[in-house]
A and B are shown apart, each in its own frame.
Chain A
Amino acid sequence: MSGVTLRNVTKTFGAVKVIKGVDIEIGEGEFCVFVGPSGCGKSTLLRMIAGLEETTGGDIEIGGRRVNDLDPKDRGAAMVFQTYALYPHMDVARNMGFGLRMNGWPKDEVDRRVQEAARILQLEPYLDRKPKALSGGQRQRVAIGRAIVRDPEVFLFDEPLSNLDAELRVATRLEIAKLHGTLGNSTMVYVTHDQVEAMTLADKIVVLRDGRVEQVGPPMELYRNPANLFVAGFIGSPKMNFVELSSGAMPDGTPVAQTGTARTLGFRADALRRSADGPLAGTVSVVEQLGDAVFAHFRTPWGQELVARFDPGTEIRAGEELRFDIAGPRHLFDADGQAMDAALRPAA
């Protein structure tokens, strides 16, 4: 039993309420990602689980124990920081073993654990190097190693890839995913603002906005059935297209079937099909060739920029006039931005 449970958790800084009542259940061994725009409170929430920020209200439980009033070291959680937070004056081995040694662990045991972590992370050749002599990816692995040696119940990652360049970010992302497999049933809580990381790593995604949970669920569930406009716009790349509806018609008056009282119609770029008599028209402004796909950004008659996906090799030029059918899944949202009953959606 080493899951994490948050019950009606709140946090105020001075007079500002930054976490406004959050309930999350993270199962043992689950990889849970907190995602949201900057300032949504995701890092604060993680630091509250770690014990680096005090909790104003509610309960935080790790492995069934209420940890609100426990010191960080007694919570059974280890943290990997965005800036790595390696001790610059210690070599890799000392960095990883520092916490254990300071707490009076026998030297043999510390060495054994450091060796083990170094093996898992392929850091063995670098054990006697100082952090300065390592690449960004290696430093991040050392930071992860420092967490591993403590054999924690819960791993906490605070935007661990943000300081890496694009290529390393993908590579390290894969390693973290592998690590989760290697370490078996360790629970991991991971904070990021990058929805791609969230989609690729998570068993469970928690979308946060403005100190509140917007939606919790497995990645594909969030992708397919976003609970509201915010989640719909946040998850998925490129962003979902949104068109305002008024009494079942688009701004240029073209009616859209089966929309009921919906105020916003959402559809992803790959839901659009070229069709000579489709309801949606536009002038192509920019064409992005990605190799495995072609994205055409087009301007609707009412001046909105939307995006459509085409198969690779499709020839489209800027300035071209196109018409589309909305062939794929449609998402309907009411006046409050909440997703409307799935029954209104035609089967994809």
Chain B
Amino acid sequence: MSTADHDIPAAGPRTGLGTRLWAHRVDYLFLVPGLVIFGAFILWPMLASQYYSLLDWSGFDSRRIFVGLRNYRELLADEFFVAAFWRSVWFTLATVPLQMLLGLVLAVILNNRLLKLSAVFRTLIFLPVVTPVAVIAIVMALMLSPFNGPINDLITGAGLVQRAVDFLGSPQLVMWSLAGIYVWKWTGVTMIYWLAALQTVPDELYEAARLDGVTGRQVTMYVVMPIIAPFAVVIGLISAISALNVFPLIQATTQGGPFFASEVMEVFIFRTAFAPPSGTFPQLGYASAAGVLFGLAIMGLTILQVLAVRRTRRKEPGHG
């Protein structure tokens, strides 16, 4: 009575494949638009990238020469690639924990239903999330400008530094500044994730704890945190993946400069494929190989996290 195949019940194991395909013909029709988009812009590009990565190919109109794994060998010896790879890793490690912690603190405070303005605060904190990166790049260039930028006016005026700081123009500082901008832009999303997690804590638990005479802080530490801890893995995964895809922010703000000091993976790929330094050719095969290595790294990270999720879920039989 309550079997899974309620839709087309004829689909028993003994029915021929042809019959089953025919029975589902409307379903396949429904799939067509989605499959076309998925196939054309996700699946095919994934496969094609692997192939392109084996080519010496300098432009969309030019000849493709099969070179095997040469691109990969050269990449691993290319100091710009290696530096960009580790810069991406550094960027992720620098931003994700901060973003998660900040988002969590904000979420715990704003989750208080008695706090009347919490919806307003939430909206304001979320505002940078909806602001396009190209705009953020301009605003930040102005805010952080060493020439009468408001931030520099503030810190020199307060006597914190002697001379104006070139936040985005100094190779030593640029990644830190970008990390700061990134955290500012995206903490709103992390906060929403945590708020969603907090909503899984039943109200009765807070009430029971209050009747037991436990303070708000203790409730948060010993009751709420253990319940939402499993969500940390998922939120961490999503945050890490988006930190690895930081191309728009960096391209718009510094274009990887100064002197390649903020060139992360995707900026490297973009430069190699579409914006080669003047006098050189685009290297589409080479860029594809970089993309494949980067994609593999991200997939590895995803698999690690999925395993971690499984593990935490298994630890508490009550969950999932």
Contacts and interface: CB of A to CB of B under 8 A. Distances in A.
A54 B1 contact: no
Interface residues of B, number: 7
Interface residues of A, number: 13
A52 B10 CA distance: 11
B1 A44 contact: yes
A14 B12 contact: yes
Contacts of B12: 12-14
A43 B9 contact: no
Contacts of A54: 9-10
Interface in A19-57: 39, 41, 43-44, 47, 52-54
B62 interface: no
B interface: dominant SS: loop
B3 A13 contact: yes
A338 to B, nearest CB: 28
B34 interface: no
Contact of B9 (A15, A39, A41, A53): A53
Nearest to B10: A54
B1 A43 contact: yes
Interface in B1-29: 1, 3, 6, 9-10, 12-13
Contacts of B3: 13
Contacts of B6: 52
A44 B9 CA distance: 12
A53 B3 CA distance: 11
Nearest to A38: B1
Contacts of B13: 14-15
Contacts of B1: 18, 39, 41, 43-44, 47
Interface in A157-214: none
B11 to A, nearest CB: 10
Given A52-B6, A53-B9, 5 more contacts: A13-B9, A13-B12, A41-B1, A43-B1, A54-B10
Interface of B: 1, 3, 6, 9-10, 12-13
Ordered nearest first, which 4 A-B pairs have the shortest CB separation? A54-B9, A54-B10, A43-B1, A44-B1
12 contacts: A12-B12, A13-B9, A13-B12, A14-B12, A14-B13, A15-B13, A18-B1, A41-B1, A44-B1, A47-B1, A52-B6, A53-B9
